[in-house]
Amino acid sequence: MSTAGIRQRVAKLESVRDAGAARQHLIEARSEDAKCKEAELIASGAARQNDLFIVIRRFAAEDFAA
């Protein structure tokens, strides 16, 4: 097999692997909104169920009131 053929096969394998790999998504939300935003991303097709979701929690002053 030629070098060009090997490069073409490797490129094809890498593109297939990347297409199925989990992606990362950053969500900024209050605690109760994070799961809703995650579900919206999945429903819209922007994310998949097996993707990694990183959530930055936002808190309001009333969350700390005693």
pLDDT per position as a tens digit, 37-63: 999 999 999 998 888 999 988 777 666
pLDDT at 37: 93
The pTM score is: 0.58
Contact between 29 and 6 under an 8 Å Cβ cutoff? The reply is no
- Average pLDDT over the chain reads 82
Q: What percent of the chain has pLDDT over 70?
A: 80
pLDDT at 20: 65
- C-beta contacts of 26-29 below 8 A and 24+ residues apart: 26/54, 26/56, 27/53, 27/54, 27/55, 27/56, 28/55, 28/56, 28/58, 29/55, 29/56, 29/57, 29/58
DSSP 65: -
